Structure 1
């Protein structure tokens, strides 16, 4: 699913109006009807007080049109105009006149704190104050109104975006943003729904179809995309009847030190479970019995060193190499990595301590093959690209880094983001149970195993991240968040594959917006 920028939202409005021969007021009416239908299906005429707060721009016009439909269907509606400016948009004024035609209770004008209404915890708040065009902080009395909403603990529904939330930067004052329980977004989701600094302002979100021009949607190039089941079905490669293990490549997992062989077991097992034809593990001598016992399906090659990786030599021709899990940062290992990178031409997936080594020895980055995949957790990412001011600064630095070295970067988190060729691919799967030791090792193995089967590095990355999260989503239904461990993610990969072809239980795509960072 595409994620439009602020400029593209405005362009989409304009082109839809022109090509469909409608007015901006007609498009606003569509949006208001969709919000009304969403509420009506859920409320079924219940007489809970609904407080609709409208700004004086087009978002406020949406709110006024919504209030009119609610009133006409007999709901208990109180409408307010948040008078934060003397300027009114044309569509706001049109809908202001229309609402006066259906009720004698005209919208209440709010100009200061003393005029704030009482709101009960069982009431409903509809926030239609500011839209995507906000470019400056709200006035102090409007911030106080937002805090009044929050203090009431009433269910808060935001129209398009929580008021006070910018689309392209992080608010300086969290009290200057509405904290929404639910946001109904027009056309496409907003990137701010997925970033740790801004996602907290809406617990859940949903996209409403307001009939935008489909040709514009289909042909517009975007900088950000949301990755879900429809996108992954398009890239999935079914197996040929006459395929054999050689058809699906040979994954080599290099890693491990004394006491950290479990990471190699997890990565190797994940590569096999996701479909690699063959998997070998290159490990210190101390891990030989562990690997042969824990994973009989894998082959084992040992380093000449007993407890660490210090001399990377093997006589196989792997399709892809997953490197770095549990490897440590010993001087011998650093020297071995540099020598290996100078000679290596095989595609790489790099994780964990190998990333820490690259961060300390930036010259090694120039030795990486084109489209090498790096999968850092937040601290590892910081060591790679430097500290950042906020999430937008982080993404900017991540893009600069990937372009400089021609890499693919996986920013692991609640909504894992893959950065590739100046675009962001936001994953839609995953849950808080994944915040557990070893889940990152599993991801390394999954991506490695997909490349082994013939997926190109970019597709393998976004598909691997998706399967990783979807497997965990299915697993927690049986296991629960707290009890999920990394091995469970591997165990449920088969279910994640089968889920690609299952029919959805609900018509709307499932959203996971309350997830903690993965390990």
Structure 2
């Protein structure tokens, strides 16, 4: 699903209006009708007081239309117009008159007004600011937003939480609505998924308001949201007449004294995701444990007991996953540097592999093209430098990935895969995956997918999705706190199965 910026959303509105020969207020009516239907289907028959806070732009106009429809169906409503400017949109004014025709008279809130009382049992509809916000809210409006947040009432935001710009970080963190639920028109917004701004969105849902599908399909975007519909076309089904040689040979290089478990997790994940063959290259101290723990994995060792001091692979692997648990001994750094110079095979580089690159940036030029780097935030900072906002982080990562022709996987709650100036935002995963070894599993999965012939970027997108899905499938039986990395590996097969679960089967299961 495409993620539009503010300009693209305005253009989609404009294209729809022109193509369908409608007026802008008709599109507003359509959008607000979807808002009302969503609320009405959940509140039907419920005695509840709904307080609508409407700005004086088009987002406020959506709120006024919603207020009119709620009033028509007998809901108890109180409407407040947040009078933050002398300028008003035409559609706001039109719908204000339509609301007054129903004998509904909004209260106007300005800088001198007392803050309205909001109880825990109220439902608040936030329609103060929309995607057009281009400056920080005035202090008195910010105080109103803080008042709404402090009420602990259920807050439903129209399109975006008020005070949250869609193409940059907030000016004032405290002047942003913390929405219980966001009903976003037609497309999601990038700010829903970034650590700095996603905290303002508890849950969100897309409402289809019938924007021009041709325009949406033809418009290039900087970011896409990756869910099941986007992942299914990536999947490469296995052939009936096939053998292990068709599905590649992964090599997992890593481990040091006390950190062999990282390689076990990555190698096991590579097997479980479908790599035809997997060989682990470890120091001598890892030989016995690997041979015992994973009999399906072949093992090579270096000459040193506790760390890797040279890397010699006596065959040409399909792909190399490297860095997990490897440490940063001086000899290990030298071995890694020498290995980069002589290998053209795509790599998946994680953990200390990334740290060695950041401490020895001259080594980056030797990283094979289309290799995949999988940093967590601190590892990313070491590679690209500090950033002032999540938006700057993304731009700096794009520049870094383009400079070295790499795929960069920014791990987090919504992992973002960056390649060729574009970002792919993942939708699976949960807080239970914030545990030791989870990244090692991801490294092994991406490595195993590349071995099978997936391109580096598709392997990263697909691997991240499957990794998160495995976690989501595991959590009902473990809870967040008890979810271990080894359990993620056990659920990779279930994640594959879930991709092809039929909707009718889901309905049957729910009925039971």
Matches within 5 A, 1:199-278: 199-278=198-277
* Distance of aligned partners of 1:270 and 1:86 in 2 relative to their CA distance in 1, 3 Å threshold: same
2: distance between equivalents of 1:72 and 1:132? 28
1:27-80 per-residue CA deviation (whole Å, 9 max, x = no partner) reads: 100110000011001101322110011100000000000000000000001111
Instruction: Kindly indicate whether the alpha-carbon contact (under 8 Å) linking 1:324 and 1:355 is maintained by their aligned counterparts in 2.
Output: yes
1: distance between equivalents of 2:325 and 2:484? 17
2: distance between equivalents of 1:286 and 1:403? 38
Query: Are 1:500 and 2:499 counterparts?
Result: yes
2: distance between equivalents of 1:170 and 1:63? 24
Cα distance, 1:411 vs structure 2:
0.4
Cα distance, 1:505 vs structure 2:
8.5
- Classify the secondary structure of the residue corresponding to 1:79: strand
Matches within 5 A, 1:175-186: 175-186=174-185
1: distance between equivalents of 2:119 and 2:158? 21
Q: Which residue of 1 aligns with 2:92?
A: 92
2: distance between equivalents of 1:226 and 1:267? 26
Q: Which residue of 2 aligns with 1:25?
A: 25
Please, what TM-score do these two structures have when normalized by structure 1? Answer: 0.96
- Classify the secondary structure of the residue corresponding to 2:197: helix
1:388-435 per-residue CA deviation (whole Å, 9 max, x = no partner) reads: 111111111111111111111010000000011111100000000001
1:463-505 per-residue CA deviation (whole Å, 9 max, x = no partner) reads: 0000000000000011111100001110001110011011359
Query: Are 1:315 and 2:314 counterparts?
Result: yes
* Distance of aligned partners of 1:501 and 1:53 in 2 relative to their CA distance in 1, 3 Å threshold: same
Q: Which residue of 2 aligns with 1:12?
A: 12
Query: Are 1:47 and 2:12 counterparts?
Result: no
Please, what TM-score do these two structures have when normalized by structure 2? Answer: 0.97
Q: Which residue of 2 aligns with 1:81?
A: 81
When structure 1 is superposed on structure 2, of 115-124 and 352-361 the one drifting more is: 115-124
Gaps of 5+ in 2: 507-512
Q: Which residue of 2 aligns with 1:305?
A: 304
Cα distance, 1:317 vs structure 2:
1.6
Matches within 5 A, 1:95-174: 95-102=95-102, 104-112=103-111, 114-174=113-173
1:410-463 per-residue CA deviation (whole Å, 9 max, x = no partner) reads: 100000000111111000000000010000000000000000111010000000
- Classify the secondary structure of the residue corresponding to 1:115: coil
* Distance of aligned partners of 1:187 and 1:358 in 2 relative to their CA distance in 1, 3 Å threshold: same
How large is the RMSD of aligned CA atoms in angstroms? Answer: 1.2
Query: Are 1:331 and 2:330 counterparts?
Result: yes
Matches within 5 A, 1:485-496: 485-496=484-495
1: distance between equivalents of 2:104 and 2:430? 45
Query: Are 1:72 and 2:72 counterparts?
Result: yes
Q: Which residue of 2 aligns with 1:430?
A: 429
1: distance between equivalents of 2:501 and 2:223? 26
Q: Which residue of 2 aligns with 1:453?
A: 452
1: distance between equivalents of 2:172 and 2:25? 33
- Classify the secondary structure of the residue corresponding to 1:409: strand
Cα distance, 1:113 vs structure 2:
5.5
Q: Which residue of 1 aligns with 2:510?
A: none
Instruction: Kindly indicate whether the alpha-carbon contact (under 8 Å) linking 1:249 and 1:277 is maintained by their aligned counterparts in 2.
Output: yes
1:359-408 per-residue CA deviation (whole Å, 9 max, x = no partner) reads: 01111100011111000111111110011111111111111111111111
* Distance of aligned partners of 1:504 and 1:398 in 2 relative to their CA distance in 1, 3 Å threshold: farther
2: distance between equivalents of 1:347 and 1:88? 56
Q: Which residue of 2 aligns with 1:514?
A: none
1: distance between equivalents of 2:329 and 2:301? 17
1:190-223 per-residue CA deviation (whole Å, 9 max, x = no partner) reads: 0000011100111111110000111111111100
2: distance between equivalents of 1:441 and 1:467? 14
Cα distance, 1:121 vs structure 2:
0.4
* Distance of aligned partners of 1:56 and 1:236 in 2 relative to their CA distance in 1, 3 Å threshold: same
Matches within 5 A, 1:397-408: 397-408=396-407
Cα distance, 1:155 vs structure 2:
0.3
Cα distance, 1:108 vs structure 2:
1.0
* Distance of aligned partners of 1:413 and 1:371 in 2 relative to their CA distance in 1, 3 Å threshold: same
Instruction: Kindly indicate whether the alpha-carbon contact (under 8 Å) linking 1:113 and 1:145 is maintained by their aligned counterparts in 2.
Output: no
Instruction: Kindly indicate whether the alpha-carbon contact (under 8 Å) linking 1:254 and 1:281 is maintained by their aligned counterparts in 2.
Output: yes
* Distance of aligned partners of 1:413 and 1:400 in 2 relative to their CA distance in 1, 3 Å threshold: same
Instruction: Kindly indicate whether the alpha-carbon contact (under 8 Å) linking 1:113 and 1:144 is maintained by their aligned counterparts in 2.
Output: no
The runs of at least 4 aligned residues of structure 1 exceeding 6 Å deviation read none
Q: Which residue of 1 aligns with 2:415?
A: 416
1: distance between equivalents of 2:274 and 2:476? 24
2: distance between equivalents of 1:262 and 1:394? 31
Cα distance, 1:90 vs structure 2:
0.6
* Distance of aligned partners of 1:113 and 1:177 in 2 relative to their CA distance in 1, 3 Å threshold: farther
Instruction: Kindly indicate whether the alpha-carbon contact (under 8 Å) linking 1:45 and 1:75 is maintained by their aligned counterparts in 2.
Output: no
